[in-house]
Chain A
Amino acid sequence: MELTADQRKTQELCARLAPDLRRRALAIDADPAVMEPHFDSPTYAWYRECSMPSAYRTSGNPLITSFPDTPSMVDWIVASIEWARGDAGAVMACPGPGLAGLTVDLLSDERQKGFFYDKLADGRTWAFFAMTEPDVGSDAAHVRTRLDPVPSGGHVLNGAKRYVGNGDRGSIGVVWAKTGDHMLGMRAVLLELPAPGCVTRPLPMLGLRGARLSEMLFQDVRVPPGMLLGEHLPATRRGLWGAIRSLQSMRLMVGSLAIGTARAIWDYAREHFPHAPGAETLEDRIEAARLHALETASAIDLDPDRAHLGARVKLAGTRLAVEAGAWALSVAGPGAWTEHPLLEKWNRDARGFEFMDGTSNVQRLHIAQGHLKESGRA
């Protein structure tokens, strides 16, 4: 598929910015809590700006001009792959709206949107998206965290979330919870932290440490009035629909980051081990995966109800990144990963994509169900 002139500009710009992410990658991996040296990176500034809706962009960054006010999925995928060629962990460590922003854009009214994005404007504030739970994984339909109304107004939150990106350091985010045991009972609230009754801690992850995956515990956490998302929407669009749509978009993004990571590994290996066997085949596989991701994004832009297609990109992209990591360590020679710590890090990172927004088996189920539905067999 052909990229537009602006998309090509975005691709070229991201490719120019990616080395800055790569330079920061090992420091963030070693200690993701130390982010002060990275906040003012030009790459972070650009990433933050294009992650915000145009009405909330603040810096007047001249580099942003080629990125649309309302980005399509193709725009995001073009950028994500190039960012990950720099370093996916460094991208995930960047303060900004992240996945919570997708939900806010889908479900919040203008006042909530303003509240959320104004909190992120300083470029030093992370947002969290709390969906996954210790016992039910990322199965949005079976969330156990409870959101109950209180007579004085607002709600109270009780439950536990796990593997929440930036959950330990985010100051605002979206928490998914049940208001009742029916299909329409699944709802999202905006939550500011710190809040009495909410305890968070980072989880020591093998890779993608910039994502700062965390555990969040809620015990009688008060949610003020006006923080429940989707009240202005039809009942069927207030809850589960938004969760599924957010996750489906995210799967395509995660798959694209995995493809970009595979490319980063290939770029590095090609530079340091120019005669490595299998390099040409791997390059062709990565290019095929990139085109698949772009075609999928284009299909979703035309019909957002086909967002389940993103599961294919995540399944294939994760497998590709893991295999690229194993290949690179193999061709580098015995123990050479100690001299090439980026390769070892990317080998760990590649495995992390497997667990984000549903494992490969979960993606397989989505892919099969989507295929059967579209072929009229389900």
Chain B
Amino acid sequence: MTEPSRSVLDRCEETAYDKGFATALALVLRDVDIAAAAPGAVVGVPEGWPVAGEAVDVPLATGWNSLAFVRLPKDRPADADACAAVVPRLARARIGLLRRTLDEAVAHLSARTSVGEPLLYKQLILGSVADTVTELQTLRRHADGLLLRPRPASAAYLHARIDRLDWRVCMLFGASGYITDHPATALYLSDLVANTWVRASGEGETAWN
């Protein structure tokens, strides 16, 4: 893997961690011909991104999440290589968002107590945090590997695993993470954005087991 390519992935992740998912998505899609790269009829992009098409109304995406979904014109050129280039960058941006939200979950769980002890120190919670940080590391390297071996089924598996981790982190917030103005809803939107960029391979089911 060339260092510049790896360095772009690192920047996608760090941007999501520092500045949020929409800003990182702008980096992911920089210089990408959206119409050619998109694998489906609809794409998730940063709000205001210059792409021709019809806006899809997804109220949760706009506002502080700063995302938009656009239905692209029909009869577009298809460029599978361009799509394959987006997928690992998008994965690393999602991992950055996951890290950021996991840190927020840890702060949330440190502040809540049960039977005189912070919830964070309950064994079930610690186990979930441990599983998440461990898998984050392997998924990060999985994304890097897609630069060398851009395999569609492997990419679909990777994003399905990130979807699963997103949900695991959401659960750490309890019901507060289910309110639409909570930062955890960005994880759900990240799932929807990835869904527009990754073609399912049939391995999605195993990725959730």
Interfacial residues, chain A to chain B (CB-CB below 8 A): 132, 135-137, 139, 142, 162-163, 203-207, 213, 277-278, 281-282, 322-323, 326-327, 329-331, 333-339, 344, 348, 351-352, 354-355, 359-361, 364-365
Measured between alpha carbons, how far is A337 from B198 in the docked complex, in Å? 13
Pairs A-B, 5 closest by C-beta atoms: A334-B40, A335-B42, A277-B202, A330-B204, A355-B175
Q: Mark B22-50, 1 if CB is under 8 A from A, else 0.
A: 00000000000000001111111000000
- B133 at the A interface (CB under 8 A): no
Interface-forming stretch among B10-18, B138-146, B163-171? B163-171
Distance to closest chain A CB from B55 (angstroms): 11
Please determine whether B205 and A327 come into contact, CB atoms closer than 8 angstroms: yes
Find the A residue at minimum CB distance from B181: A204
Find the A residue at minimum CB distance from B40: A334
- B148 at the A interface (CB under 8 A): no
Distance to closest chain A CB from B73 (angstroms): 14
Please determine whether A281 and B205 come into contact, CB atoms closer than 8 angstroms: yes
Please determine whether A334 and B180 come into contact, CB atoms closer than 8 angstroms: no
> For residue B185, which residues in chain A have a CB less than 8 angstroms away from its CB?
206
Measured between alpha carbons, how far is A162 from B175 in the docked complex, in Å? 9
- B149 at the A interface (CB under 8 A): no
Please determine whether A206 and B200 come into contact, CB atoms closer than 8 angstroms: no
Find the A residue at minimum CB distance from B197: A334
- A137-B174 contact given A322-B167, A338-B71, CB 8 Å threshold: yes
- B147 at the A interface (CB under 8 A): no
18 cross-chain CB contacts under 8 A:
A136-B114, A142-B114, A205-B178, A205-B179, A206-B179, A206-B180, A323-B208, A330-B160, A331-B204, A333-B200, A334-B40, A334-B41, A334-B196, A335-B41, A335-B69, A354-B178, A355-B174, A361-B125
Interfacial residues, chain B to chain A (CB-CB below 8 A): 38-44, 56, 58, 60, 69, 71, 112, 114, 122, 124-125, 128, 156, 160, 163-164, 167, 170-171, 174-175, 178-181, 185, 188, 191-192, 195-200, 202, 204-205, 208-209
Measured between alpha carbons, how far is A206 from B58 in the docked complex, in Å? 12
Distance to closest chain B CB from A143 (angstroms): 13
Distance to closest chain B CB from A75 (angstroms): 29
Measured between alpha carbons, how far is A203 from B181 in the docked complex, in Å? 10
Measured between alpha carbons, how far is A337 from B69 in the docked complex, in Å? 11
- A335-B196 contact given A206-B188, A282-B205, CB 8 Å threshold: yes
Please determine whether B204 and A327 come into contact, CB atoms closer than 8 angstroms: yes
Please determine whether B178 and A352 come into contact, CB atoms closer than 8 angstroms: yes
Distance to closest chain A CB from B60 (angstroms): 8
Please determine whether B42 and A338 come into contact, CB atoms closer than 8 angstroms: yes
> For residue B122, which residues in chain A have a CB less than 8 angstroms away from its CB?
361
Please determine whether B178 and A207 come into contact, CB atoms closer than 8 angstroms: yes
Please determine whether B42 and A351 come into contact, CB atoms closer than 8 angstroms: no
Measured between alpha carbons, how far is A322 from B188 in the docked complex, in Å? 12
Measured between alpha carbons, how far is A204 from B60 in the docked complex, in Å? 11
Measured between alpha carbons, how far is A365 from B125 in the docked complex, in Å? 12
Distance to closest chain A CB from B173 (angstroms): 9
> For residue A334, which residues in chain B have a CB less than 8 angstroms away from its CB?
38-42, 195-200
Please determine whether A354 and B196 come into contact, CB atoms closer than 8 angstroms: no
> For residue A359, which residues in chain B have a CB less than 8 angstroms away from its CB?
171, 174
> For residue A323, which residues in chain B have a CB less than 8 angstroms away from its CB?
205, 208-209
Measured between alpha carbons, how far is A142 from B204 in the docked complex, in Å? 41
Query: Knowing that A139-B114, A329-B195 are A-B contacts, what are 9 other residue pairs whose CB atoms are under 8 Å apart, sorted by A's residue number?
Result: A137-B174, A163-B175, A327-B205, A330-B160, A330-B204, A335-B40, A336-B42, A352-B178, A361-B122
